[in-house]
């Protein structure tokens, strides 16, 4: 109510109406109302500006940006080369993250530190390191994070994309420095770099500086917050050997989930795969996918290998439903043959034979319709 009264005073109004209450809720930026609007994909900043426009006010009131908003700074280079996970989460484009609450909370804790606030997720391929970054983005969108992380944007950057198209010496450094300048000016970017070890040597042509040496000063000064992800082998091989880079990161171990947790993860993802493949995935199929992949695919890790198995099986079932069975093709061929024989009999005025062929054609057509119905 106090915020609503303040909004009314700033607009020069002598009353407090529903429009002022809405402005107050948006300005507060937290609570049930703001959370509902965020879940519906409503931008709090845009909603505020539209209310002000309807009230005939041209004042943007930039000093009172809602804390729950996700205002994107002017980062054209970063936007063209990276994916905004918070924006994708707001649109409902990320899969639900199941069973990684402990790791996500640990990431939030490290990000909230004063120094060495750059977590690096260390785990085998397929255990769900990227899903943890996506889970963080979803928590930011849902305002389920501390005040220090409000308004943050989680951007995932692929070093291969940054290097692509840089033909001449110095082009890569210029591009990466431009990204760093945009991040510094924005002040609300958390950079997620999958395969963190690719920083070592990235863009390092003869006489050029590689990516890790460009990022080190910004990491040291606290101008860049970064979440890395890599395997234990790659971490030991590349990151630990670079002491200056290694001490900027706080390792977080991401273990392979057990079979029970993997089943829970697949239950959480089931709706997405059912909608994509338009098939029904049973509880038994999920359990068997986890147990069989765990037994027969020892060189890969849960939940990735079980998810792949479900995806592959659902794709096969879906394709089979579109493949015409052989007996249906055979019936169609016989029907076409009988139709031609009937037409030939009519042409030669053999009406008794034509009548018999007509009856045969009718039976084949009925059989064909029944077969089609059973197939569908």
Secondary structure (DSSP) of 124-159: -TTSSHHHHHHHHHHHHHTT-S-GGGTT-EEEEE-H
Instruction: Give CATH for domain 1-55.
Output: 1.10.1780.10
pLDDT digit string, tens, across residues 131-147:
999 999 999 888 888 88
Every domain of the chain with CATH number 1.10.1780.10 lies at 1-55
Instruction: State the residue for tokens 């006010």.
Output: 57
Assigned CATH for 76-253: 3.40.50.300
Nearest to 247 by CA among 110, 115, 107, 111: 115
Which residue would you say has higher pLDDT here, 61 or 276?
A: 276
Residue 198, token pair as written in the block? 């690719």
How much is the CA Rg of the chain, to the nearest whole Å?
A: 30
CATH 1.10.8.60 fits domain 260-322: yes
Start-end of H helices in the chain:
2-10, 18-28, 32-39, 44-54, 76-81, 85-90, 101-111, 129-141, 159-163, 171-186, 211-221, 232-234, 243-246, 259-277, 283-296, 304-322, 326-347, 351-375
Give residue 375's pLDDT: 60
Task: List Cβ neighbours of 55 (8 Å cut-off, separation of 6 or more).
Answer: 11, 19
Full DSSP string of 63-93: GG--TT-----S-HHHHHHEEEHHHHHHTT-
Greater confidence (282 vs 36) lies with: 282
* 67 pLDDT higher than 60: no
Which distant-in-sequence residues (6+ apart) come within 8 Å of 242 by Cβ?
200, 212
Instruction: Give the model's confidence band at 119: pLDDT under 50 very low, under 70 low, under 90 confident, else very high.
Output: very high
pLDDT reading at 34 higher than 50:
yes
In this structure, the number of other CB atoms found within 10 A of the CB of residue 233 comes to 11
Calpha distance 107→118 (Å, rounded):
9
Spatial distance between the Cα atoms of 256 and 299, rounded to a whole number of angstroms: 13
* Average pLDDT over every residue of 295-302: 86
Please tell me whether residue 225 adopts helix, strand or coil conformation.
strand
Please give the angle made by the CA atoms of 45, 65 and 48, to the nearest 5 degrees.
35
What are the pLDDT digits (tens) for 95-113? 888 888 889 999 999 988 8
pLDDT at 72: 47
What architecture is the 326-375 domain classified under in CATH?
A: Irregular (4.10)
Output the CA torsion 231→77→214→149 (10° steps).
Answer: -60
Q: What is the model's pLDDT at position 55?
A: 65
The Cα–Cα gap between 282 and 173 comes to: 51
Q: What is the pLDDT of residue 62?
A: 37
d(CA 265, CA 239): 30
CA distance 306 to 313: 11
pLDDT in tens, 158-172: 877 777 766 666 777
């Amino acid at each position: 109510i106090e915020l609503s009264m303040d909004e009314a005073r700033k607009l020069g109004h002598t009353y407090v109406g529903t429009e002022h209450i809405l402005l107050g809720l948006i300005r507060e930026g937290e609570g049930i109302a703001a959370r509902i609007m965020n879940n519906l994909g409503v931008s709090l900043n845009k909603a505020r500006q539209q209310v002000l426009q309807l009230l005939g006010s041209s004042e943007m009131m930039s000093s009172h940006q809602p804390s729950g908003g996700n205002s994107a700074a002017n980062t054209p280079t970063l936007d063209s080369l990276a994916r905004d996970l918070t924006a994708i989460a707001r649109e409902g484009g990320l899969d639900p993250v199941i069973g990684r609450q402990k790791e996500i909370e640990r990431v939030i804790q490290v990000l909230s530190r004063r120094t060495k606030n750059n977590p690096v997720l260390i785990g085998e391929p397929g255990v769900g390191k990227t899903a943890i970054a996506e889970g963080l983005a979803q928590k930011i969108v849902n305002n389920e994070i501390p005040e220090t992380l409000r308004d943050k944007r989680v951007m995932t950057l692929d070093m291969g994309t940054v290097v692509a198209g840089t033909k001449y010496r110095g082009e890569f450094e210029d591009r990466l420095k431009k990204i760093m300048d945009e991040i510094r000016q924005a002040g609300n970017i958390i950079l997620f770099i999958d395969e963190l070890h690719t920083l070592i040597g990235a863009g390092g042509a003869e006489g050029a500086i590689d990516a890790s040496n460009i990022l080190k000063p910004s990491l040291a000064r606290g101008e860049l917050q970064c979440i890395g992800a890599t395997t234990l082998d790659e971490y030991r091989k590349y990151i630990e050997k670079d002491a200056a880079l290694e001490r900027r990161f706080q390792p977080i171990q991401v273990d392979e989930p057990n079979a029970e947790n993997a089943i829970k993860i697949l239950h959480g993802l089931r709706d997405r795969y059912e909608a994509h493949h338009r098939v029904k995935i049973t509880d038994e199929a999920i359990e068997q996918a986890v147990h069989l992949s765990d037994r027969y695919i020892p060189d890969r890790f849960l939940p990735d290998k079980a998810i792949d198995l479900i995806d592959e099986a659902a794709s096969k079932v879906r394709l089979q439903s579109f493949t015409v069975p052989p007996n249906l093709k055979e019936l169609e061929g016989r029907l076409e043959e009988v139709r031609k024989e009937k037409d030939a009999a009519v042409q030669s005025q053999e009406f008794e034979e034509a009548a018999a062929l007509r009856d045969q054609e009718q039976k084949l057509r009925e059989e064909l319709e029944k077969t089609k119905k059973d197939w569908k």
